[in-house]
Amino acid sequence: MKSFAVLLLGCCVACMIGCLPEPLSVDGIPQLKPKIVVSTQLTTDQSLIILLTKSVGALEASDDSDPEELLNQIAINDASVTLHHDDLTYTLTFVSNGLYASTQIPLQAGDDYTLLVESPTMGTVRASTVVNGKVSFDFLDANIFDNGYDTLAEVSYGFTDPVGENFYMFNVQRLTNDVDPEDLLNPEIFIELLNDKPFEGTEYFTRERIVARRDFTPGDTIGVFLSNISEEYFDFMKVRADSRFNFSEFLGEPANYPSNVEGGLGFFNLYIPDVRIVELNDPAFKLF
């Protein structure tokens, strides 16, 4: 009986294979046209940096991709990048590998700013945003935490939440003079996102937030950022944070992510962060 069942199964499989149509040719399938992807970063001195890249298809990048080679392929280096506020126009300077920067843009809370990107090879995109007001730390404490296997950063902080609905992004980043191409595409930054509903209009205080993904040594310097961001950027960062540890997913993210870039992908957002620079070899460091 068992032999009969095996034979019957084999016949069924053979019939199914015999009914399969000839494989369709996959040649000539049009590729999706690459789009401009906008990434925004405000540095510790509140300089504005815009990274412009081409969107990456699912088959074009993987965890085995070389970050430097990939960045060279997808960086947009021929763009004119300007920021418009009221009747003023600020021109960002091309730095290298898709990076455009400016240190001369005064950000005013509550004002509208429009980013305009014009590339001869990739076309034109624009995005507008409103600058949220600055919220500062009331308390900050940072030390090295040794768990017996790794030396991590341990950060505690507190701030007072203004009245009204607010959304926050708390970041910790190790500061070095070395530029790693992968850090431009998928930076190793600790990200905590906060919706103020549980503590609206009161003081928020957290203890012993452990910063993973890095082994810290005495003398390392970190930048600690507290940013009051828009709800739209909060939603974008929630999705981005979920996939940022996977290199290929991070590069492919813009296709499925919320975006405020007209004609392109990514997200343009401006905010005024409270930035503190901390040297971790000083365990007594505190800000009151």
Q: Which ranges of the chain have pLDDT less than 70?
A: 1-32, 44-46, 57-67, 176-188, 207-209, 212-214, 242-256, 281-288
Exposed/middle/buried for 267, CB within 10 Å: 0-12, 13-18, 19+? buried
> DSSP labels for 20-37?
PPPPPP-TTPPPPPP-EE
| Contacting residues for 42 by C-beta, under 8 A, at least 6 apart | 48, 49, 227, 270, 271, 273
| Contacting residues for 142 by C-beta, under 8 A, at least 6 apart | 153, 154, 155, 156, 222, 224, 278, 280, 285
Q: What whole-number distance in Å separates Cα of residue 180 and Cα of residue 169?
A: 23
| Contacting residues for 163 by C-beta, under 8 A, at least 6 apart | 200, 201
Take residue 84 and report the two structure tokens written for it. Answer: 């418009």
Q: What is the pLDDT of residues 194-216, one digit of tens each?
A: 999 999 989 898 866 677 556 78
H or E stretch at 50 = strand 48-54
- Cα–Cα distances in angstroms (integers) from residue 51 to residues 36, 96, 127, 186, 224, in the given order: 10, 10, 14, 12, 21
Give me the sheet containing 88-91, strands edge to edge: 88-91, 80-85, 112-119, 123-130
pLDDT score recorded for residue 256 = 65
Confirm if 85 and 250 have CB atoms less than 8 A apart. no
Give me the sheet containing 137-146, strands edge to edge: 203-211, 151-160, 137-146, 286-287
pLDDT score recorded for residue 211 = 72
What are the two backbone dihedrals, phi and then psi, of residue 91, each rounded to the nearest 5 degrees? -100, 125
Identify the residue whose tokens are 């009204």.
Answer: 164
* Beta strands 286-287; 88-91: pairing state: unpaired
Q: What is the pLDDT of residues 56-88, one digit of tens each?
A: 754 455 445 566 777 788 899 999 999 999 999
Q: What whole-number distance in Å separates Cα of residue 30 and Cα of residue 208?
A: 51
